[in-house]
A and B are shown apart, each in its own frame.
Chain A
Amino acid sequence: MVNGQELSYLLRLVIQRIFAAFVTLGVVSMVVFAAIELLPGDACQAFLGQMAQGQRLANCRAEHQLDKSPIERYGIWAAGLAQGDLGNSIKRSKPLEEVIGPRFRNTVILGLTAAGIGIPMAIALGVIAAWFRERKVDFWISGVAIFFMTIPDFITGTLLISLFSVWLGWLPGIVIMRVDAPITEVFSQIGLPVLTLMLVMIAHIMRMVRSSMIDVLASEFVMMATLKGLPRWRLLLLHALPNALLPAINLIALNIAWLMGGVLVVEVVFNYPGIGRLSVNAIADRDLPLVQAIALLMAAIYVSLNLLADLLTLMLSPKLRTQRVQP
C-alpha cells in the first residue's frame, strides 16, 4: 500500500540519490583530471618519451590541444564527456569510444556472468553457514571461503588454468579471441575467468551474509517469531533473511565494485580482451587520454553500483521508505 505521500517522499529520495551520484561523478572527473595533470610532463611528453622534442612534440601537442590552459582543457574534456565523446587515443589515433567500447562490453559480460551466478550462491551459502554456525558445515564453507578471499586472484587463476585446462583439459585456459568476437564466442571462452572472479566474489559476499544473518538470528524478533511457533523455513526466509540482506546490500555493492578493480589482474592472467587489460596496456603505453577515460568509466561503474544498492535498500526497507510519514 504505497500512498501518495509515501510515493512523493520516495521519489524525492530517489532524485536526491541520483543527483548525488552525478555530483560525485563530476567531482571524480575533476580529481582524475587533476591527478593526471599533476604527473610530471604532459600526455605528449609521456607518450613520446625520448622523442619528445622539437616539431614532433609541438605537433602532438597541437593535435591534442595541450597548448591550452588546464582549465580550458578540462572544460573541453567535460563538455565532450557530456556528449559521449571521450576524446582521442594518443597511441591509436582513433576515437576512444571505438577503443573502449568493445572491450567494455567484454568486461561487462565477464562481470555480469560472475555476479549473476555468484551472488545467489553466496547468499544461499551464507544462510546455510549461519544456520549451522560453529558446526561442521559452517566450518567447511567458511574455511574454503577464507582461502579464496585471501590468496591473490592471479594465483587462483594460474592454479585453475593448470587444473582445468592443462591437467583435465575441460576448459580453454588462455582466452584467444578477437576483441569484437560475437557473444557466443565470448561465452565459449570465459569459463575460467568467470570461475576465478566468482570464487573470490562468493567468498567475500558469503562471509557478509553469514555474519549479518547471525546477528539477525540473535535478534529479539527472531526469538519472538520462534516463540510464536513458526516453522523453520518461514522463520529463515520471511523473517530473518530480508532483515539480514538489508544491511548487506550496500556492502555487497561495494564489494563487487572493488572486485571489478581486480578484473584487471584476472584479465591479464587469462589474456582476456577487456577494459582491465586495456588499462594496463594504456598505462604501459603512456596513453594518458585513454587512462583518463578508463578511470572515469570505472568510477562511473562504482558510483552506479552504489546508487543501485542505495535504491534497492530504499525499496526493501520499510523503515527508510516511510521515515517521514509517521503518525
Chain B
Amino acid sequence: MSLPLLKIDGLSIGYEGADGVAVPIVNQVDLQLEEGSTLGLVGESGCGKSTLLLALMGYYDSGLARLAGKVALLGKDPGALNEADLQLFRGGDVALIPQNAGQALTPTLKIEAQMLEALRLHTPLPAASRQDRILQLFDRVQLPDPANLLGRYPHELSGGQQQRVALAMALAGNPKVLLLDEPTTGLDVTTQQAVLALLSEIALESQTAMVFVSHDIGVIGAVCERVAVMYAGEIVELGACNQILQHPRHPYTQALLSSIPKLGQAWAFKAPTSIQQGQDRRLSGCAYAPRCEYVGPTCLKQKPRLTRDQDREVKCVQLSEIARMVAPAGGHKGESKMVGQEYVLSVNNLSVSYDHTGWWPFASRQERKLTVREVSFDIVRGQTLGLVGESGSGKSSILRTLIGLQKSFEGEAQLLDKFDLTTPVAHRSKACLSKIQMVFQNPDASLNPRQSIFAALARPLRIYFRLSEPEIRAEVERLMAAVQLPMEYSARYPGQLSGGERQRVAIARALASKPDVLLCDEITSALDVSVQASIIQLLKDLKDAQGLTLLFVSHDLPVVMALADDVAILQRGQICESGRVEQIFNAPEHPYTQSLIKAVL
C-alpha cells in the first residue's frame, strides 16, 4: 500500500477553560486518507468537525490551539511550515470549499480578479493563458456562460453559481486534497442535488482526495466512500459509507440515522432517553454515555477506544450487548381520525405581494410582484396540512397573512366560519386572536431573551383570559407538562435552555390560548436532526391527545410527510399539487413534485 496522503495521529484541538484546564473541541482523532479517496465527517453542530477540517490547513479559530497529536498531509505538517511555505501549501496542496460561498468571496473584487489571484499564486501558468484556464475551470464546474461571469461581482451570482465559483477556485491550484465544509447547506434542494452530483463526478474523475464535512449523513452518502461519525470531538464510528448507512453499529450513529425521517417508510422514531443536547467533553467515561440508551457501568468509568469491528472501526464497549438487543420497534403511522368534517381554516384565492413602502419621487415604481398567487386550501379539524416549498416559494407569506401581519394581499381566509382572517392583527378580536396561533422557525429569535420562560407563557394567558395569579401558575404548569418540560425550567431564561427545549417553550406559548389552529413555520429547520425528531414526535402526541389542527410549513419533504395528513406543494407562489400524503408520495403528478421527491430519495 502506498504512503497515505493524509495521516492524523492523536490530534486534539481545544482552548484553555476558565479554570486553566484545556477543553478539547477535537479529541484524540486518528484518521488516514489514501490518494483519490473520499471521506465524510458527519456529526451534529458543535461536534468539532469543522475545527478538525480547518486544522488540516493549519488554521485555528481564535482562542483554539493544537493540544496534542500530529498532522501529515503529503508529508507536511501545516503547523510546522513557515509563512511562505504555508501560503504555497494552502490553495496549492490543499484547498477549501467553504460552507457559504456567498460570504466567502470578497464582495469588492470581481470574480475574474479572484480567480486570477488563485492561478498566479498556485500555478506556473504565464499571464496570457490564465484567462483560458479560468474558462476551462468554469466549464469544468459546469458554470453556464463562463465568459460573462468574469466581469461580475460575487453578489450578482446565484447561490449555486457562487458555490461553483468557489469550487473552481479551489481546483485552480490542482490541489491533492479538497476540503469541503458543508458546501451545500445553504442551497435549495434541487441546486444541492446538482452540486453534489458535480462533486462526486469530480471525485471520480480527477483522483482528488476529498474530506467532506456535513451534518447531513445523506449528503455524505451521495459523495463519499468512507464516513467518520463524530460526537463530542471524537470519532465514534468509521467505515465504508454504505455499510454504516445501512447497518449503523454505534448507538449514536443509530440514533442519528433513525431520527431522519425517510420517505416511504413508516415513521419509527424512538425518543432518545434524554433530550438534553449539551456535549460534555470532560467526562471520564464515554462522551455519549449520558444520551445513550444502551449505557452500561463500564461506559461511565472508562473512555472507550476506537477498535476494529469487522468491516469498520467503532468506539463502543457495548457492541455485543447492542447486537443482542435486536430492537426494530415497528413504528406506527398515527391513525388519522376523521372527526366530522368541520373546516377549521379555509383559504380562498389568496394572493400576496411585497409590502411596498416609500414615497420617494424618483424611486422606480416596481411592478407589483406577487409572492403568492391564488392559493386555496381547507383544513379539517384534527388534521394536519403540510405546505412544502423551497425558500422564496411564498410559504412564509401565507402564514404572515393568516396571522394578520401582512399588509398587501387579496383573497379570502376564514377561521371556523366566523372569523375573517383578512383583518389585520390590530383589529382582530381577542376571541379570534386566541383561536389561531403561530410557532416560529427559530426559537432563539421567537422567545424574548430577556423574558423568563414563566413570563413568556404567562403573557398570552394574561391577554386572553382573566386569570388570578394562582390560576396562571396552574396553567403554566399544565403547559410545561404538555410539552414535556419540568416546571423548574419556568424560572429560566431562553439562553439557559437548549434549542429543542426552547422550541418546546415556543409551542407551549402558542398552546396557551387553547387555539384551534396552530401555524408552524419551519419549526424544525433550525434544530439538529435528533432534536428535530423529538419535536415532530411532540407535535404528533399533541395532535393525538388534543385534536390539534396544524398548518405545517416546511422545505423538508420527509419531515412534512412524517407529520402531515395532507400535503400541498408550493412552487413560485402557486400550489402545483396537493392531496393526501400517501397519494402524493406514491404517485406524484406534477414534474416539480417528482423532482422534489427524487431529490430526497
A325 neighbours in B (Cβ, 8 Å): 156
- As a 0/1 sequence over residues 219 to 234 of chain A, the CB contacts with chain B under 8 angstroms (1 = contact) are 1110111111111101
Nearest residue in B to A319 (C-beta to C-beta)?
B155
Q: Is A54 an interface residue (CB 8 A)?
A: no
Check A227 against B59 for contact (C-beta < 8 Å).
Answer: yes
Q: Which of B55-71 touch A at CB < 8 Å?
A: 57, 59
Q: Is A316 an interface residue (CB 8 A)?
A: yes
Of A223, A224, A228, A239, most B-chain CB atoms within 10 Å = A228
Q: Is A326 an interface residue (CB 8 A)?
A: yes
Q: Is A318 an interface residue (CB 8 A)?
A: yes
Docked pose: A322 CA to B152 CA in angstroms: 10
Check A229 against B108 for contact (C-beta < 8 Å).
Answer: no
Nearest residue in B to A238 (C-beta to C-beta)?
B109
Q: Is A19 an interface residue (CB 8 A)?
A: yes
The interface size of chain B toward A, counting residues with CB under 8 Å, comes to 40
Q: Is B248 an interface residue (CB 8 A)?
A: no
Of B103, B105, B107, B110, most A-chain CB atoms within 10 Å = B107
Nearest residue in B to A243 (C-beta to C-beta)?
B108
Q: Is A16 an interface residue (CB 8 A)?
A: yes
B151 neighbours in A (Cβ, 8 Å): 1
Docked pose: A228 CA to B97 CA in angstroms: 10
Number of A-B pairs whose CB atoms are under 8 Å? 88
Check A239 against B156 for contact (C-beta < 8 Å).
Answer: no
Docked pose: A239 CA to B362 CA in angstroms: 34
| Segment at the interface with A among B14-22, B85-93, B269-277 | B85-93
Q: Which of A266-317 touch B at CB < 8 Å?
A: 316-317
Docked pose: A322 CA to B98 CA in angstroms: 25
Q: Is B96 an interface residue (CB 8 A)?
A: yes
Q: Is A191 an interface residue (CB 8 A)?
A: no
Of B87, B89, B108, B153, most A-chain CB atoms within 10 Å = B108
Check A228 against B108 for contact (C-beta < 8 Å).
Answer: no
Known: A16-B362, A227-B59, A229-B92. A317 touches B108 (CB 8 A): yes
B95 neighbours in A (Cβ, 8 Å): 227-228
A242 neighbours in B (Cβ, 8 Å): 108
B59 neighbours in A (Cβ, 8 Å): 223, 226-227
Q: Is A246 an interface residue (CB 8 A)?
A: yes
Chain A min CB distance to B19 (Å):
22
Check B87 against A319 for contact (C-beta < 8 Å).
Answer: no
| Segment at the interface with A among B115-123, B522-530, B542-550 | B115-123
Q: Is B100 an interface residue (CB 8 A)?
A: yes
Q: Is A4 an interface residue (CB 8 A)?
A: no
Pick from B91, B100, B155: contact of A229, CB under 8 Å: B91
Known: A220-B103, A220-B104, A327-B158. A227 touches B90 (CB 8 A): yes
Q: Which of A234-275 touch B at CB < 8 Å?
A: 234, 238-239, 242-243, 246
Q: Is A15 an interface residue (CB 8 A)?
A: yes
Docked pose: A197 CA to B90 CA in angstroms: 46
A326 neighbours in B (Cβ, 8 Å): 156
B90 neighbours in A (Cβ, 8 Å): 226-229
Q: Is B169 an interface residue (CB 8 A)?
A: yes
Pick from B91, B98, B106, B169: contact of A239, CB under 8 Å: B106
Check A227 against B155 for contact (C-beta < 8 Å).
Answer: no
Docked pose: A228 CA to B101 CA in angstroms: 13
Docked pose: A228 CA to B165 CA in angstroms: 13
B361 neighbours in A (Cβ, 8 Å): 19
Q: Is B360 an interface residue (CB 8 A)?
A: yes
Q: Is A12 an interface residue (CB 8 A)?
A: yes
Docked pose: A292 CA to B364 CA in angstroms: 37
Pick from A19, A223, A230, A327: contact of B117, CB under 8 Å: A230
Check A224 against B91 for contact (C-beta < 8 Å).
Answer: no
Pick from A1, A12, A224, A316: contact of B96, CB under 8 Å: A224
Check A229 against B122 for contact (C-beta < 8 Å).
Answer: yes
Known: A219-B103, A221-B107, A246-B108. A12 touches B362 (CB 8 A): yes
Check A221 against B106 for contact (C-beta < 8 Å).
Answer: yes
Check A227 against B57 for contact (C-beta < 8 Å).
Answer: yes
Pick from B105, B117, B158, B360: contact of A221, CB under 8 Å: B105
Chain A min CB distance to B14 (Å):
20
A322 neighbours in B (Cβ, 8 Å): 153, 155-156
Check B106 against A243 for contact (C-beta < 8 Å).
Answer: yes
Check A221 against B104 for contact (C-beta < 8 Å).
Answer: yes
Chain B min CB distance to A100 (Å):
33
Docked pose: A230 CA to B156 CA in angstroms: 24
Docked pose: A291 CA to B91 CA in angstroms: 63
Docked pose: A63 CA to B362 CA in angstroms: 43
Nearest residue in A to B121 (C-beta to C-beta)?
A229
Chain A min CB distance to B426 (Å):
32
Check B117 against A228 for contact (C-beta < 8 Å).
Answer: yes
A246 neighbours in B (Cβ, 8 Å): 108
B121 neighbours in A (Cβ, 8 Å): 228-230
Check A220 against B100 for contact (C-beta < 8 Å).
Answer: yes
Chain A min CB distance to B253 (Å):
30
Check B122 against A239 for contact (C-beta < 8 Å).
Answer: no
Check A220 against B98 for contact (C-beta < 8 Å).
Answer: yes
Of A239, A318, A324, most B-chain CB atoms within 10 Å = A318
Known: A229-B121, A229-B122, A319-B153. A224 touches B105 (CB 8 A): yes
Docked pose: A239 CA to B105 CA in angstroms: 10
Check A224 against B98 for contact (C-beta < 8 Å).
Answer: yes
A219 neighbours in B (Cβ, 8 Å): 103
Known: A16-B360, A221-B107. A229 touches B156 (CB 8 A): no
Nearest residue in A to B166 (C-beta to C-beta)?
A224
Nearest residue in B to A16 (C-beta to C-beta)?
B362
Docked pose: A246 CA to B86 CA in angstroms: 30
Docked pose: A188 CA to B361 CA in angstroms: 49
Chain B min CB distance to A241 (Å):
9
Pick from B104, B106, B108, B360: contact of A316, CB under 8 Å: B108
Check B106 against A228 for contact (C-beta < 8 Å).
Answer: no
Check B108 against A318 for contact (C-beta < 8 Å).
Answer: yes
Q: Which of B69-94 touch A at CB < 8 Å?
A: 83, 86-92
Docked pose: A322 CA to B155 CA in angstroms: 9
Docked pose: A324 CA to B363 CA in angstroms: 12
Chain B min CB distance to A318 (Å):
4
Pick from B83, B96, B105, B107: contact of A227, CB under 8 Å: B96
B91 neighbours in A (Cβ, 8 Å): 227-229
Docked pose: A238 CA to B120 CA in angstroms: 15
Chain A min CB distance to B81 (Å):
11
Docked pose: A229 CA to B85 CA in angstroms: 9
Docked pose: A224 CA to B157 CA in angstroms: 18
Check B109 against A231 for contact (C-beta < 8 Å).
Answer: no
Known: A227-B90, A229-B86, A238-B109. A318 touches B117 (CB 8 A): no
Pick from A15, A229, A318: contact of B107, CB under 8 Å: A318
- Other CB < 8 Å A-B pairs besides A16-B360, A243-B107, 7 of them? A220-B100, A221-B105, A221-B106, A227-B90, A246-B108, A318-B155, A319-B153
Chain B residues engaging chain A, CB cutoff 8 angstroms:
54, 57, 59, 83, 86-92, 95-96, 98, 100, 103-110, 117-118, 121-122, 151, 153, 155-158, 166, 169, 173, 360-362, 364
| Across the A-B interface, the 5 shortest Cβ-Cβ residue pairs | A229-B91, A229-B90, A224-B104, A318-B153, A220-B103
* Pairs A–B under 8 Å by Cβ, sample size 16: A221-B103, A221-B104, A221-B107, A226-B59, A227-B96, A228-B95, A229-B88, A229-B89, A229-B173, A230-B87, A231-B87, A239-B108, A316-B108, A318-B155, A319-B107, A327-B158
